[in-house]
Amino acid sequence: MGIKYSNKINKIRTFALVLIFAGIAIMYIGLFFQQSPFLVTAFMLLGFLAIIASTVIYFWIGMLSSKTVQVQCPNCGKQTKMLGRVDACMYCDEPLTLDKSLEGKEFDESYNKKSK
């Protein structure tokens, strides 16, 4: 395995978390431009939008979670959540599949898009 895959839900969650910190950072940077009301407003608005976007993503994760399948990881033995036909373990990034025909094959996220 050349590329390391990580769990989709984890990936989205990490992105949402980064977005919150980016939003706060952008708002903080805006404080350095207090001489210019326009720049302060622009930074505040941008930071605010990033935080709003992150909230939307968190909400989306909540909806996605209802579609996940609970499986026991064969590698680390923990209960993990899978999204789609192929996903990686949330704890050890072991590639997992629900489809027996794909077992042992090279892990490929494109299998999710095929509708068979």
Interface residues toward Zn ion, by CB under 5 A:
73, 75-76, 89, 91-92, 94
Residue 70, token pair as written in the block: 């609970």
Least distance from C-beta 25 to Zn ion, angstroms? 33
Least distance from C-beta 68 to Zn ion, angstroms? 15
Nearer to Zn ion, 55 or 75 (CB): 75
Q: CA 32, 51, 9, 108 torsion: positive or negative? A: negative
Residue 45, token pair as written in the block: 């608005």
**C-alpha distance across the termini of the chain, in Å:** 25
Nearer to Zn ion, 11 or 42 (CB): 11
Residue 19, token pair as written in the block: 């977005």
Least distance from C-beta 74 to Zn ion, angstroms? 8
Nearer to Zn ion, 61 or 89 (CB): 89
* Measured torsion, CA atoms of residues 7, 10, 15, 16, in degrees rounded to the nearest 10: 150
Least distance from C-beta 80 to Zn ion, angstroms? 6
Helix (H, G, I), strand (E, B) or coil at 103: coil
Nearer to Zn ion, 47 or 81 (CB): 81
